[in-house]
Amino acid sequence: MPADLLPFRPYARQQLTRGDMSPELLFRLHLVPGYVTRLLCFGVYVWPRLKSMDALDLMRGLRSSHAWFRNSMGRSCGWRRSAR
């Protein structure tokens, strides 16, 4: 190790072992902006559109999106419909 880096080594070790910012805390903090933007988009674009639709069109859209998710995303994620 170069001699000029030796004085900084204890400080780097202290920063790594101190544990101020755990991975769990970082994970939870990175979720907050995602939720905020989703709520903002939902409140500005989706909710007014849903309020303006009549009940039949609303149910048709919900049914279509549910069927798409169930058929396409469900298969790729390994979800299977239970045999009855």
pLDDT in tens, the chain (84 residues): 555 555 555 555 555 555 577 888 888 889 999 999 999 999 999 899 989 999 999 999 889 888 887 777 666 555 555 555
Query: Quick check: is 82 in a domain?
Result: no
Residue 5 lies in a domain: no
- What's the token pair of residue 7? 């004085």
Residue 2: the pLDDT is: 53
Q: Is residue 65 part of a domain?
A: yes
Question: Which structural domain range is residue 69 located in?
Answer: 11-76
Q: What is the pLDDT of residue 23?
A: 83
pLDDT of amino acid 76:
58
Measured CA to CA, the distance from residue 62 to residue 53 in angstroms comes to 12
Q: Does residue 22 sit within a domain?
A: yes
In a domain, 83, yes or no: no
In whole angstroms, what is the distance from residue 80 CA to residue 62 CA?
A: 21
**Cut 0.85: pTM above it:** no
Q: How many domains does the chain divide into? A: 1
Cα distance between residue 48 and residue 70, in whole Å? 26
